[in-house]
């Protein structure tokens, strides 16, 4: 979801990472669901990318479901 919103908003990974004050590598991991992030960073992503509430809830639910599958 993050990648789709990033592209929709016309940002490169480097541009978005700089805007929200994380490394482009961390953003890359987030886009591929390979890393977790802080609530603070998630809030920045939501604001900068203008992510709708429904997509946020789906994203968070998917993360939770993926975590349950690991155990």
Q: Which tokens is 67 given?
A: 């975590």
Q: Which tokens is 7 given?
A: 């592209």
* Domain harbouring 62, CATH code: 1.10.260.40
Q: What is the tally of structural domains in the chain?
A: 1
Instruction: Give the total residue count for the chain.
Output: 71
Give the pLDDT of residue 33.
Answer: 83
Tell me the backbone φ, ψ of residue 10, rounded to 5 degrees: 75, 25
From first to last of the 71 residues of the chain, give the pLDDT tens digit. 899 999 999 999 999 999 999 999 999 999 998 888 899 999 999 999 999 989 988 877 877 776 655 54
Is this prediction's pTM over 0.85?
no
Do residues 1 and 59 lie in contact, with contact meaning Cβ atoms separated by under 8 Å?
A: yes
| Helix or strand (DSSP H, E) at 1 | none
Q: What's the domain range around 57?
A: 2-69
Q: How far apart are CA 19 and CA 41, in angstroms?
A: 11
């Amino acid at each position: 979801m993050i990648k789709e919103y990033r592209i929709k908003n016309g940002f490169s990974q480097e541009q978005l990472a700089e805007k929200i004050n994380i490394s482009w590598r961390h953003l890359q991991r987030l886009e591929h669901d390979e890393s977790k992030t802080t609530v603070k960073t998630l809030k920045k992503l939501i604001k900068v990318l203008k992510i709708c509430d429904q997509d946020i809830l789906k994203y968070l639910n998917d993360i939770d479901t993926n975590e349950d599958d690991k155990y």
